[in-house]
């Protein structure tokens, strides 16, 4: 499986390279990273300069590259594993459009544990129809977007069960909590890889479901699994639920 890796020199870029080195069938054939000072044999600064033959693209760069990345993948007919977070509404629209032509995998979190957490949250909510729900996410101090894409995806899982749910971020000022509110709280500190908790509470008890990633390797391994999953698939938008069904 030959991979073009976008965001080659970033923290996650290094993790994907390490994960590919541990995976016999995976090979990073070229990197793309606009922030490097000059093109090298391993990595180029633009998609135009990337001529390598490949089976899939994995993107751990920045959401602002989404348009250029999708144009490149569509022109080459390559499946794309999109792992950046913080996409704008326009970028989300472009992703949907591209998925009509090529296979696109989109997940805010490539760890298996988060997919299981979403499932557990939905099952718990079915048992606690009136409970209050709050989401707490913690990340390293370099993270650009808040709340995390994973926290928003967890909110999406809540909303599937409770369509009336309303995300409340950065709560402050006067006014009490409304029943449909789901508070989303972001902590930024030190080197935390990623911790997500969903609190489901009544007046008498609180159930807290927590996932903690200890190493970024978990996201890298998951992105390679997603790339393997996409190869040979038809156009469409795929996510971790689809991957779990095949695991
Ligand atoms: N889906 C997941 O499971 C998952 C897990 C971890 C990180 N992420 C996401 O992956 C992305 C990269 O994370 P990271 O920790 O490796 O970040 P990082 O800052 O260490 O690396 C970002 C990489 O993208 C490149 N880049 C290109 N254009 C850029 C721009 N306009 N601004 C900033 N960087 C740009 C940088 O040169 C760098 O190589 C983020 O969007 C992050 O939220 C997703």
Coil vs helix vs strand at 237? strand
Residue closest by Cα to atom 37 of ligand 1? 35
Q: How far apart are CA 62 and CA 80, in angstroms?
A: 14
Residue 32 pLDDT: 98
CATH number assigned to the domain covering 2-110+217-246: 3.40.50.720
Q: Which of 63, 118, 139, 211 is catalytic?
A: 139
Each residue's pLDDT tens digit, 23-47: 999 999 999 999 999 999 999 999 9
| Residue 110, ligand 1, Cβ within 6 A | yes
Beta strands per DSSP E along 71-153: 80-82, 103-106, 132-139
Residue 167 pLDDT: 98
Confidence band (pLDDT; 50, 70, 90) for 82? very high
Residue closest by Cα to atom 2 of ligand 1? 109
CATH number assigned to the domain covering 112-213: 3.30.360.10
Residue 133 · residue 200 · CB < 8 Å: yes
pLDDT at residue 86 above 80? yes
Residue 158 pLDDT: 98
135 by Cβ neighbours in 10 Å (0-12 / 13-18 / 19+) ranks as buried
Question: Distance between alpha carbon 241 and the CA centroid of its chain, in Å?
Answer: 13
For ligand 1, pick from 4, 10, 147, 226 the residue to mutate: most ligand atoms within 8 Å of CB: 10
| Residue 43, ligand 1, Cβ within 6 A | no
Q: Which percentage of the chain shows pLDDT scores above 90? A: 96
Each residue's pLDDT tens digit, 185-219: 999 999 999 999 999 999 999 999 999 999 999 99
- What does DSSP say about strands 181-188 and 206-213: parallel, antiparallel, or unpaired? unpaired
Mean predicted confidence (pLDDT) in 72-89: 97
Residue 244 pLDDT: 82
Domain ranges of the chain: 2-110+217-246, 112-213
Among this protein's residues, is 118 annotated catalytic?
Answer: no
pTM of the model: 0.87
For ligand 1, pick from 35, 140, 222 the residue to mutate: most ligand atoms within 8 Å of CB: 35
Is residue 56 within a helix (H) or strand (E), and if so which, with residue range?
Answer: strand 56-59
pLDDT at residue 247 above 80? no
Site of tokens 């979403």: 118
Each residue's pLDDT tens digit, 116-158: 999 999 999 999 999 999 999 999 999 999 999 999 999 999 9
- Both tokens of 100, joined, read 């009509």
Residue 122 pLDDT: 96
Confidence band (pLDDT; 50, 70, 90) for 241? confident
Residue 26 · residue 3 · CB < 8 Å: yes
Give Cβ neighbours of residue 56 (< 8 Å, ≥ 6 apart). 1, 2, 3, 4, 78, 79, 80, 81, 227, 230, 231
Torsion of CA 98, 86, 12, 73, to 10 degrees: 10
Coil vs helix vs strand at 239? coil
Residue 245 pLDDT: 82
| Residue 34, ligand 1, Cβ within 6 A | yes
């Amino acid at each position: 499986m030959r991979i073009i890796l976008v965001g080659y020199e970033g923290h996650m870029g290094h993790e994907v390279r390490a994960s590919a080195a541990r995976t016999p069938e995976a090979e990073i054939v070229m990197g793309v990273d606009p922030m490097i000072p000059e093109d090298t044999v391993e990595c180029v600064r633009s998609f135009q300069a990337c001529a390598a033959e490949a089976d899939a693209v994995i993107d751990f760069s920045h959401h602002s590259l989404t348009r250029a990345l999708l144009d490149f993948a569509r022109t080459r007919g390559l499946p794309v594993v999109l792992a950046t977070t913080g996409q704008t509404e326009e970028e989300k629209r472009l992703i949907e459009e591209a998925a009509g032509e090529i296979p696109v995998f989109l997940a805010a979190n490539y760890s298996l544990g988060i997919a299981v957490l979403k499932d557990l949250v939905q099952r718990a909510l079915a048992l606690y129809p009136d409970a209050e729900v709050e989401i707490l996410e913690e990340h390293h101090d370099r993270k650009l977007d808040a709340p995390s894409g994973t926290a928003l995806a967890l909110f999406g899982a809540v909303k599937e069960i409770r369509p009336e749910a309303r995300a409340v971020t950065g709560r402050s000022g006067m006014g009490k909590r409304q029943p449909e509110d789901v508070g989303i709280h972001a902590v930024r500190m030190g080197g935390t890889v990623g911790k997500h908790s969903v609190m489901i509470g009544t007046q008498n008890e609180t159930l807290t479901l927590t996932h903690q990633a200890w190493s970024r390797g978990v996201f890298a391994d998951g992105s390679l699994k997603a790339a393997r999953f996409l190869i040979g698939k038809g156009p469409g938008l795929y996510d971790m639920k689809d991957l779990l069904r095949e695991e």
